[in-house]
Structure 1
Amino acid sequence: MPIGDELKAARKAKGWSHTRVIHALTLHARHHGVSIMTERSLKTALSRWENGHTTPDQFYRGLLASVLGLPDPYDLLTQTSRYELKLDVAVDRAEDLSRYQGPPDSAASIASPLIDDDQVVAGYVFAHSHLLPTAVEPESTDRTYAANRLRDRAAQLMELDFQRGGGHVRPMLQSFFLAEVVPAVRACMASKSDRNVFSAAAEVSQLLGWAAYDEHRHREAARYFVLGLRLASEAGDQLLGARLLANLSHQYTFLRKPRQALTFARAAESVLRGRGTPAVETMCVMMEARALAVAGERQEAIAAILHAETLFSRSSDFEPPWIGYYDAAELAGDAAHAFHDLSAFREVQEFASTAITSSTPARTRGFIRFLSAQAALVAGDADHAAVLAAEAMQTGVTVLSARHQRYVDDFRAAAIKRKVPQLLDVLERYRSAPVQKPRQSSEG
Structure 2
Amino acid sequence: MSDRSLTTALSRWENNHNTPDQFYRRLLGVVLGLPVAEDVAVRTGTYEQDIDRAIEVLDVLTRWDHEERPIFTSTVGLVDSDRVISGYLFARSHAVDDPAIPPISTAMEPDSVAGRIRAAASALMSVDFEQGGGRIRAALTHYFQNSVTPELRAERAGDSRRAVYGAAAEVAQLLGWSAYDAGHQSVAARYFTLGLRLADEAADQLMGARLLANLSHQYNAIGKYPQALTMARAAQAALRGRGTASVETMCVMMEARALANLRDERAAVRAIGHAERLFDRRTGDEPDWIGYYDAAELCGDIAHAFRDLGVAARSREFTQRALTPTTPRRTRVFIQLVNADVALKCGEIEEAAYLATGALHSGGALQSQRYLRYLQEFARSVPDLGDPAMVEFTEILGDRYPKLLRTERVRRT
User: What is the TM-score with the length of structure 2 in the denominator?
Assistant: 0.82
Q: Is the 2:385–2:391 Cα contact (8 Å) retained in structure 1?
A: no
- Equivalent position of 1:242 in the other structure: 209
Cα 1:424–1:225 change in 2 (3 A) is farther
Q: What letter matches 2:46 in structure 1?
A: R
SS state of the match for residue 399, structure 1?
Answer: coil
Structure number with larger C-alpha Rg: 1
- Equivalent position of 1:330 in the other structure: 297
Q: Is the 2:316–2:339 Cα contact (8 Å) retained in structure 1?
A: yes
Alignment of 1:77-88 (within 5 A): 79-88=43-52
Alignment of 1:190-339 (within 5 A): 191-194=157-160, 195-339=162-306
- Equivalent position of 2:313 in the other structure: 346
Q: Is the 1:415–1:424 Cα contact (8 Å) retained in structure 2?
A: no
- C-alpha displacement at 1:420, in angstroms? 4.2
1:387 aligns with 2:350: no
Cα 1:61–1:427 change in 2 (3 A) is farther
Deviations 1:366-422 (Å, cap 9, x if unpaired)? 000001111111222222111111111112222000000000000000013798464
Alignment of 1:16-415 (within 5 A): 75-76=39-40, 79-100=43-64, 101-103=68-70, 109-110=74-75, 112-130=76-94, 131-133=96-98, 145-188=112-155, 191-194=157-160, 195-415=162-382
SS state of the match for residue 316, structure 1?
Answer: coil
Q: Percent identity, aligned pairs only?
A: 47
Q: Is the 1:73–1:79 Cα contact (8 Å) retained in structure 2?
A: no
- Equivalent position of 1:68 in the other structure: none
Q: Is the 2:210–2:251 Cα contact (8 Å) retained in structure 1?
A: yes
Equivalent pairs counted in the alignment come to: 365
- C-alpha displacement at 1:81, in angstroms? 1.3
Q: What letter matches 1:88 in structure 2?
A: D
User: What is the TM-score with the length of structure 1 in the denominator?
Assistant: 0.76
- C-alpha displacement at 1:433, in angstroms? 3.5
Q: Is the 1:212–1:218 Cα contact (8 Å) retained in structure 2?
A: yes
Q: Distance in 2 between matches of 1:373 and 1:317?
A: 34
Q: Is the 2:47–2:197 Cα contact (8 Å) retained in structure 1?
A: yes
Over aligned residues, Cα RMSD in angstroms?
2.7
Deviations 1:56-109 (Å, cap 9, x if unpaired)? x8579988x9xxxxxx96635654411101111000101111112234976xx1
Cα 1:415–1:145 change in 2 (3 A) is same
Q: Distance in 2 between matches of 1:295 and 1:77?
A: 33
- C-alpha displacement at 1:129, in angstroms? 3.1
Q: Distance in 1 between matches of 2:38 and 2:146?
A: 25
- Equivalent position of 1:27 in the other structure: none
SS state of the match for residue 99, structure 1?
Answer: helix
Which residues of structure 1 form unaligned runs of 5+? 1-48, 50-56, 66-71, 435-444
Q: Distance in 1 between matches of 2:33 and 2:266?
A: 48
